[in-house]
Amino acid sequence: MSFSTLVQDIAFRDSRSDERSSQISLPHSVARSYASTSATSVSIAGDISSQLHGGYSHPLTRAWQAERQLTKAMLIYPLFITDNPDEETLIPSLPNQHRRGLNRIVPFLRPLVAKGLRSVILFGVPLEPTAKDALGTAADDPAGPVMSAIALLRRNFPQLFIVADVCLCEYTSHGHCGILREDGSLNNAMSVERISDVAMAYAQAGAHCVAPSDMNDGRVRAIKLKLIEAGIAHRVNLMSYSAKFSGCLYGPFRDAAGSCPSFGDRKCYQLPPGGRGLARRAIQRDIGEGADIIMVKPASSYLDIISDAKEIGKDMPVAAYQVSGEFAMIHAGAKAGVFDLKTMAFESTEGILRAGAGIVVSYFTPEFLDWLST
Ligand SMILES: [Zn+2]
């Protein structure tokens, strides 16, 4: 039977689908074609484009369905660096992640770099009791953990792209992301001045990228202007945490970085979880202020925002941070037998890429370096 005859037969059968019993009276050949194609007849009767399975029946053709496939170059690995050079402490709420001192970082990273690690993002964790004050003075201490780590990593791993997170909350006595007024609210002008100075210090120390995560208004512009004035804007990437939402997914990170606010919360500068329009405005603003990369954080609960970021910033890279709480949830789910860890790590990351990100800050980076090699 030719294909067109088959379609005609099926169309005829479909037109009488409310009279199933009537097929008994159809000519013998029609009845037989109905029987032999019953499994697919509904879709064959419709548009030919309804036949999709052939397009993804092979592992490779399934991979080709993705606009972006996860590669090692997309991954940025977060590192927590303490001011105690020999420390290597497991962070209980953040599975397999450690706080490390300067003496521990290079031996830890060497095998990862050999496996294809391309980028890290540095978070300083001062543990000395005297390290914190109201201005976050330790943030750009030349002998502090981040400034020292930048130089150390540049020396040991010339190919590694070093991102320095820029914020004050790890260094302020009150744990907020800027400088406060007497009433406890954020003094935006003073905070921007201080944050941009810290960003400049990291850039001068050799960071390839500075990434302000503080969410003060206007800090991207202030940093870009200082980079231009210093004559280093051409070699320093500015990645803005543009759409950083407040919420409970940062708990394990705050354990890791010791950056929990001593009073209040961050809801007056981080975005409210329902604030899609606000996020779009923040993204537009940061692009206008000179950001080179736009970041959305957290990732999996904010896939629509990642998609918005890619639409608004379609000519620039979009990054997403799969934050500590997301990572810990995946580990907890796997431990409870809900799903397989590796499968869920890929599934969640592929969702982030599908939404529009081309860069993922991920605690799964060491595992991905292995998984993507096999
Ligand atoms: Zn902060």
350 located within any domain: yes
Q: How many CB atoms lie within 10 A of CB 14?
A: 14
Domain check: are 117 and 178 in the same one?
yes
130 in the same domain as 33: no
pLDDT (0 to 100) of residue 46: 63
Indicate whether 62 belongs to any domain: no
Task: Provide the strand spans (E) within 213-345.
Answer: 237-244, 293-297, 318-321
Annotated binding site for Zn(2+): 167, 169, 177
Q: Give the list of residues 6+ apart from residue 229 with CB closer than 8 angstroms, or none.
A: none
Same domain, 16 and 129: no
Q: State whether 87 and 194 are in the same domain.
A: yes
User: Among residues 72, 226, 267, 297, which one is catalytic?
Assistant: 297
Expressed in angstroms and rounded, the spacing between residue 215 Cα and the centre of ligand 1 is: 8
- Is 132 known to be catalytic? no
- For residue 35, the model assigns a pLDDT of 44
**From ligand 1's centre to the CA of 89, what distance in Å?**
22
> How many Å lie between the centroid of ligand 1 and the Cα of residue 249?
14
| Per-run averaged pLDDT (10 residues), the chain, 374 residues | 47 44 44 47 63 91 94 98 95 94 98 98 91 92 96 98 96 92 93 97 98 96 98 98 94 82 84 97 97 98 98 97 97 98 98 98 98 94
Q: What is the CATH number of the domain that holds 313?
A: 3.20.20.70
Residue 38 lies in a domain: yes
Which contacts of 177-180 are long-range, i.e. CB under 8 A and separated by 24 or more positions?
Answer: 177/213, 177/214, 177/215, 177/216, 177/266, 177/269, 178/214, 178/216, 178/269, 179/134, 179/135, 179/136, 180/134
Domain identity same for 248 and 99: yes
Positive or negative torsion for Cα 344, 345, 350, 352 = positive
* 172 in the same domain as 105: yes
Q: Which of 12, 30, 47 is the last residue of a domain?
A: 47
Range of the domain at 236: 73-371
pLDDT at 22: 41
Q: Is residue 213 part of a domain?
A: yes
Q: 195 with 134, same domain?
A: yes
Active site residue 267: no
**Whole-number Å distance between alpha carbons of 178 and 136:** 8
* Residue stretches of the annotated binding site for 5-aminolevulinate: 254, 266, 324, 363
Residues 88, 16 share a domain: no
Q: For residue 44, how far is its CA from the centre of ligand 1 (angstroms)?
A: 57
Q: What is the rounded CA–CA span in Å between residue 340 and residue 331?
A: 9
Per-residue pLDDT, 37? 52
How far is the centre of ligand 1, averaged over its atoms, from the C-alpha of 326 (Å)?
18
User: Given 132, 224, 226, 244, which residue is catalytic?
Assistant: 244
Ramachandran class of 373: left when φ > 0, alpha when ψ lies in -120 to 50, beta otherwise = alpha
How far, in Å, CA of 106 to CA of 157, rounded? Answer: 9
- Can you give the length of the chain in residues? 374
- Report in angstroms the alpha-carbon separations of 74 from 157, 245, 265, 284: 18, 22, 32, 23
Has residue 95 been placed in a domain?
A: yes
d(CA 285, CA 177): 20
Co-location of 140 and 270 in the same domain: yes
Take residue 202 and report the two structure tokens written for it. 């990291």
Ligand 1 centre to CA of 76 (Å) is: 19
The count of domains in the chain is 2
- Residue 201 shares a structural domain with residue 340: yes
